Amino acid sequence: MTSRQTDKVTRVDIRIPNELYDRISAIATHHFHAKTHHRIHAKTHHRSGKPEVTPTILKLIELGIGQLESSLSDVEETDTELKEQVRDLDTRLKEVEAKLSGVNTVAVKAEPELEPEPEPPADEREGLSDDELSSLINLSSIFIYRYRRDGHAIPNVVERLKDWKFKGNRWIRKE
């Protein structure tokens, strides 16, 4: 052992910036007792009359190390939990994939899309398109299209279309 080390302690020279030392001194004065580390004033040094900061520095180091170790164990626990959750999700995903392996997962369209019929030039047209009739009788062109395509309509649609018939690819007034 060197002259700076005993069985229980090692003396270390450390340079502390003045601002940090002042903060430690204030903590020693207002927060810690040298022996009990309770929230009462620190002892004052018998020669200098200043608060003893060594016990406060040691307590702050212990608290910092404890916080660091606690944070690291929290991270390790969280990391372990996340790994377990990922493994669980991976297992569940494989189960779902296995169940779906024979199932066709491609969505089927409910209704085939109809290609729009080409519009003849304006001077050759007779009658109205679904959209033009829609604007004229104040009814959604979707209802008109469905009535024309399927013949199904709610009473209001039938009433509004009673004077119209679909001929060729246009709506014309009944005579």
Which tens digit of pLDDT belongs to each residue from 86-124?
888 888 888 888 877 766 555 555 665 666 666 555 444
Contact 30, 41 (CB under 8 A): yes
- Tens of pLDDT along 5-29? 899 989 888 999 999 999 988 888 8
pTM for the whole structure? 0.38
Please say if the pLDDT value at position 38 is more than 60: no
Q: Establish how many alpha carbons lie within 13 A of residue 159's alpha carbon, considering only the half-sphere containing its beta carbon.
A: 4
Of residues 19 and 84, which shows the higher confidence score?
19
**How far is 141 from 146, CA to CA, in rounded Å?**
9
Which residue from 69, 70, 74, 26 is spatially nearest to 51, judged by alpha carbons? 26
Residues 6+ apart with CB under 8 A from 128: 136, 170, 171, 172
Other Cβ atoms closer than 10 A to 56? 22
SS3 label, residue 172: strand
Contact 27, 60 (CB under 8 A): yes
CA dihedral 68, 69, 72, 76 (to 10 degrees): -170
Contact 131, 141 (CB under 8 A): yes
Residue corresponding to tokens 């944070």 = 71
CA dihedral 65, 68, 73, 76 (to 10 degrees): -140
